[in-house]
Amino acid sequence: MRKILVLFAHPKYEHSEVNQVLLNSISHLENVEIRDLYELYPDFNVSIQAEQEALFQAEVIIWHHPIYWYSCPPLLKQWIDIVLEFGWAYGPGGIYLKNKLIMNAITTGGSDHAYSSEGRNQHPIEDFLLPFEQTAKLCLLQYLAPFHVSGTHQITNEQLSLKGKEYHDLVLHLRDAPSINRPFRSKQLNS
Amino acid sequence: MSGFFANAVVYILAAIVCVPIAKRLGMGSVLGYLLAGIIIGPYLLGFITNEGQGQDIMHATEFGVVMMLFLIGLELEPKMLWRIKDLILRIGLSQILLTSLIVFGIGILVQIPWQAALAISLSMALSSTAIVLQSLKEKNQMNQPLGKMSFGVLLMQDIAVIPILAILPLLVVQGAQLVETDPEQMHGLIDQLPGWAQTLSIFGAIGIVILLGRYGFGPLLNFVAKTRLRELFTASALLIVVGISFLMELVGLSPALGAFLAGVILANSPYRHALESDLEPFKGLLLGLFFMAVGSTINFTLIFNEASTIFSITFGIILIKALILLILGKIKKLKLSSNLSFAIGLSQVGEFSFVTYAFALQLGIFSQSMSDTLMAVTALSMTISPILMVILDLTILPKLDRNEEKKEQKMDDVHEKNKVLLIGFGHFGSTVGRFLRASGVEATILDSDPERVEYLRKLGFKVYFGDGTRAELLESAGAHEASILISAIDDREISKVLVEICKEEFPHLEVMIRAKNRMDAFELMDMGVENIYRENLDTSIKMGEDALKKLGFRAHTVHRLAKQFHDYDEASLKVLVNFKHNRDEYISKTKQQIEIQESLISGELSRKFSVNDHTWDSESIKEAVKSEIGNTKGEERNRK
């Protein structure tokens, strides 16, 4: 059983039905720790010590957040900036994250079509996640294909509960599967 | 024992020994001073050889009472005074008239000449401003209904001194000889003037005080303040009080009243606090001496010889006064416990009667023995009433409060059933309440100051009158339905009571308590309170933060420092609380904590941040890059 760390960042969680469903679907699971960053650090003073300890214990890390302006909410960026220290997460001696798995679990208002070369955003979502992918690689993390809930503005309850189930199953898979095959940019597991 | 220094040593030593003991026993300083006076007086240790000496000191130190009224005046703005005019006139006047009437009736019954009976009854109606106000202040009750009522009554009594002194000469028994006539002592220059001129000069004197207060003292103090000589300022403060007393004495008015008037007029002056702090020690010292003098004048020989007479008169007068006050308190709807404190508190005969007895003796209204007996009664009543107060406070009130909670629960029907109970709506509580309200959370607010309640209700706040420290009121305010109780009271004792009540009756409530300081917080932590808010922690750190910014620090850096400092301070509190019981250890731990705090923050500064925080700090990366370049160059060189 792997230890899973969900780093959840949403500045207005109480208004996000989609993320509530997603989070509720995994909140009761054993060996899954959810760190609600906006609840822990309303003043952006992220505790490096506490975060690094949590990271150290985890085997699978999930950055769970909505996409705002093609990136994560600012507190998660703050988290990345100050927790992934030189000499700890990367650089000489920075080996503490080595070979752990990491994945983005994201929600977007735009549909799958909007995030395609024909769509409004002109690029697939994976292109926008490039900074996260590269961050992970620099920290010697294995970056997994993202879990993506798209079109959240129009999502129906049925679709949403389906997505919740899917997230739940994925987390279970990451926790329990003997080996995990979820290479980046391979959509087959999602569909 | 003679000589100034010897006397001074005796008095001061007695005070230093007795007052702390009295305070430790929960008796208040007044009783301590009185006991000290009795101990050094002629009947115990005999440092003061006779009552006459004690009386001299008493007269000299009566000035402390004058100062106290001046200081009280300073804290009362004219507007405030106007607001309690009802209290002063109705309650105060009825107290004086009723008490005098009954005492007069009894006097006639026991066949004292009516003139003497009237003089006695008027003197005995008055209570001791010194004793009552001092103990009210010590118990922090000045702003409670009980304190206001007491103050109103005392003020009226001080005003009543004027007509009483005026009436006494009219009572002179025709044909009776004036015993040791000494007009200079009691009356001033205007005695020889005809009645209309006397009246005129009285009003003139009051006018002068008001005019001086408005236009004279301000410029004087301003002028003196500019010299920056502190002792000169103190001297001016003394001059004001002494001068007014002199003026009042001159026209035969109560100096205390004049000083009070001047104080009220100066209450709005910018020098108010400076005056307060300069006069406070004088007042304290003089009052202490005054009480000791009272204690030393108690004529124990007389008391032993005529024990039954004197004790029955003393307890009789205390009973009469207390009963009348009880009735008045009832009419004014004081709750029973406050009413008892009010009645017993004011039940003694006041220091002013020493003056009237002496005056009446001179005028031949009293015989010497009558005067001696009355003096003994007065001094005894001044000693007994504080003792009664202690008994009341320790035994009856705690029980009563409990009973009262059950039956007298009609204060305010609180209909609200909110999630938050907010106790205390002063500066602190109102900010909390406004913020909650702005966020859409209505709290049920309780406040025990009726005026504030009324005022805030006019502003549209839902504030309820009631003492938050009573379980039943909390219950009717919805303590069972609420989830959070916020105490914004600045009185630590009340806060502690509140915590106890919540622990016993409403264990489900999340209790959030305002604490004054670290020590306060420790006590609350000991009681198991988890949510403690030191009232100036955040503000002072914010202030430091802004100061650092003004010195050129980057705002965000300072902000992070401040947050770290704050967290550190809170964390160190939790460490320190374990050591506070062992005092020595606590001190060293405190020092240690301070050192850690200092080194922490200076470390932060010299490293541009904290020891463990290299956030946004590229120094180490640069170094690593440099050595990497060095390595590759070396490799290249090797290859060559």
- Find the CATH number of the domain harbouring B560: 3.40.50.720
Which of B349, B366, B400 terminates a domain? The answer is: B400
pLDDT score at A7? 97
Q: State how many domains chain B has.
A: 2
Mean of the pLDDT values across residues B366-374?
82
Identify the domain containing residue B530 by its residue range: 420-606
Summarize pLDDT for B461-477 with one digit per residue, the tens. Answer: 777 766 677 676 777 67
Is B345 within a domain?
yes
pLDDT score at A101? 95
Q: Do A49 and B560 touch (CB under 8 A)?
A: no
Whether B584 and B545 map to the same domain: the answer is yes
Q: Do B620 and A86 touch (CB under 8 A)?
A: yes
**Beta carbons of B204 and B253 less than 8 angstroms apart:** no
Mean of the pLDDT values across residues B260-285?
75
Nearest to A87 among B563, B615, B620 (CB): B620
Chain A hits for B620, CB-CB cut-off 8 Å, are 86-87
Q: Say yes or no: A49 contacts chain B, CB-CB below 8 A.
A: yes
**Nearest residue of A to residue B619, measured between CA atoms:** A86
**Beta carbons of B501 and B421 less than 8 angstroms apart:** no
Whether B429 and B382 map to the same domain: the answer is no
Chain A hits for B571, CB-CB cut-off 8 Å, are none
| Residue spans per domain, chain A | 4-189
Q: Say yes or no: A85 contacts chain B, CB-CB below 8 A.
A: yes
What is the per-residue burial (b if ≥16 Cβ within 10 Å, else e) of B128-151? bbbbbbbbbbebebbebbbbbbbb
Is B640 within a domain?
no
Query: Regarding the domain delimited by A4-189, which CATH topology (the fold level of the hierarchy) does it fall under?
Result: Rossmann fold (3.40.50)
pLDDT confidence tier of residue A186, bands split at 50, 70 and 90: very low
**pTM for the whole structure:** 0.47
Nearest to B621 among A49, A82, A86 (CB): A86
Q: How far apart are CA A106 and CA A133, in angstroms?
A: 14
> Which neighbouring-strand residues pair with A34?
A6
- Find the CATH number of the domain harbouring B275: 1.20.1530.20
Does B590 score more than 80 pLDDT? no
Is B179 within a domain?
no
**Nearest residue of B to residue A43, measured between CA atoms:** B563
Q: Do A43 and B624 touch (CB under 8 A)?
A: no
Nearest to B615 among A43, A49, A81 (CB): A81
**Nearest residue of A to residue B613, measured between CA atoms:** A48
Q: Say yes or no: A43 contacts chain B, CB-CB below 8 A.
A: yes
Does B58 score more than 80 pLDDT? no
Whether B110 and B230 map to the same domain: the answer is yes
What are the distances in angstroms from CA B364 to CA B33, B161, B184, B192, B361? 33, 20, 17, 20, 5
Mean of the pLDDT values across residues B615-620?
72
Among A116-125, B353-362, B574-583, which stretch is predicted with the lowest mean pLDDT? B574-583
Q: Do A82 and B616 touch (CB under 8 A)?
A: yes
Summarize pLDDT for B525-561 with one digit per residue, the tens. Answer: 888 898 999 988 899 999 999 998 899 888 888 888 8
Summarize pLDDT for B415-441 with one digit per residue, the tens. Answer: 445 789 899 888 899 899 889 888 888
Which of B400, B428, B461 terminates a domain? The answer is: B400
Chain B hits for A87, CB-CB cut-off 8 Å, are 614, 620, 624
Whether B396 and B425 map to the same domain: the answer is no
Disruptive mutation site among B621, B622, B625 for chain A (greatest number of A CBs within 10 Å): B621
Q: Do B624 and A91 touch (CB under 8 A)?
A: yes
Share the mean pLDDT of chain B.
77
pLDDT score at A41? 93
Counting residues of chain B whose pLDDT is more than 90, the rounded percentage is 8
Q: Do B612 and A49 touch (CB under 8 A)?
A: yes
Please spell the DSSP secondary structure of B256-299, one letter per residue. Answer: HHHHHHHHHHHTTSTTHHHHHHHHHHHHHHHHHHHHHHHHHH--
CB neighbour list of residue B93: distance below 8 Å, 6 or more residues apart: B156
Closest-CA distance of chain A to residue B560, Å: 7
Whether B339 and B477 map to the same domain: the answer is no
Q: Do A85 and B563 touch (CB under 8 A)?
A: no
Count each helix (H run) and each strand (E run) in chain A, helices first: 7, 6
Of B22, B75, B434, B570, the residue nearest B276 (C-alpha):
B75
Does B459 score more than 50 pLDDT? yes
From first CA to last CA, the distance across chain B in angstroms is 108
Q: Say yes or no: A52 contacts chain B, CB-CB below 8 A.
A: no
Is B147 within a domain?
yes
Whether B22 and B88 map to the same domain: the answer is yes
Counting residues of chain B whose pLDDT is more than 70, the rounded percentage is 79
pLDDT score at B579? 65
Summarize pLDDT for B75-86 with one digit per residue, the tens. Answer: 777 777 777 788
CB neighbour list of residue B186: distance below 8 Å, 6 or more residues apart: B165, B252, B355, B358, B359, B362
